[in-house]
Amino acid sequence: MRDIHWNIPLMLLTMISVWLFPCLAEAVTFPIPSLKIGLEPATTPEEVAVVLEIVALLTIIALSPSILILMTPFTRLVVVFGFLRQAIGTQSSPPNQVVVGLALFMTFYIMRPVGQEIYDNALNPYLENRITYKEAFQAAEIPIRNYLLINTREADIALFVKGAGVAKPKNRDDVSLLVLIPAYVISELKTAFIIGFVIYIPFIVLDMVVASVLLAMGMMMLPPVMISLPFKLILFVLVDGWHLITSSLLKSFGV
């Protein structure tokens, strides 16, 4: 009798499942593909090349977040937007998702010519077997190097050249990417901090004016930030701040 009581909920659950999902009552067989994983010795150089290409692709996929952050305008954009949010005084508006999303899509917009050149001169010919993997890598390196050199200061390049202990490059093509990438990153950070300082100036002036007015009126217990925040928002909207900052950032990259 105890077994019957224990089996009643199971029987009810089965009946309800069959009633709600009639397809479960029918025995339907689906073809399941077989998957075989194994290691076999390569017999031709082509097989070795395919394995190396797979390893290189997996490496690029693993490093793609670092490539996106350190070799694109993403760093400058997200730092400037962060300074802007702090200067206005809205710590959580716009939220981080909006700031990062806007910086990401602006990065795609700015890097589109570079990506198109890589596709036309490196990726597409390689997929059509017109050039080798080494030639495709060399062709893809040219537009990336040109973009990094345009937005990198010579002093930063000299710093990492000296730190690496390598010979002084004779021209632009002699600069290694291992030297150029960190130099580009600190150049972007310096530029972003300069832009952030310029953004801070009008809002700091407004905070000082509001604080002086409150002090003159004897309202010392009232936080000046509470009063200045609406004026900051009104000022930012009236001058069309998002348009000005976005256009200035695009012009700084030559877009």
CA–CA gap between residue 147 and residue 28 (Å, rounded): 57
Q: Which of 15-19, 88-92, 93-97 has the lowest mean pLDDT?
A: 15-19
Name the E strands within the chain: none
Contact between residue 134 and residue 148 where contact means Cβ atoms under 8 Å apart: no
CA–CA gap between residue 180 and residue 151 (Å, rounded): 10
- For 138-177, what is the HEC assignment? HHHHHHHHHHHHHCCCHHHHHHHHHHHCCCCCCCHHHCCH
- pLDDT, tens digit, for every residue of 172-195? 777 778 888 888 999 999 999 999
pLDDT value of position 44: 61
| Residue-averaged pLDDT of the chain | 77
Q: Which residues of 123-132 are buried (b: 16+ CB within 10 A; e: fewer)?
A: eebbeeeebe
Most confident of 48-52, 169-173, 192-196, 232-236: 192-196
User: The pTM is what?
Assistant: 0.71
Helix axes 177-216, 154-164, angle to 10 degrees: 130
- pLDDT, tens digit, for every residue of 2-43? 444 444 444 444 544 444 444 444 444 445 555 455 556 656
Q: Which of 38-52, 99-113, 206-220 has the lowest mean pLDDT?
A: 38-52
Domain ranges of the chain: 47-252
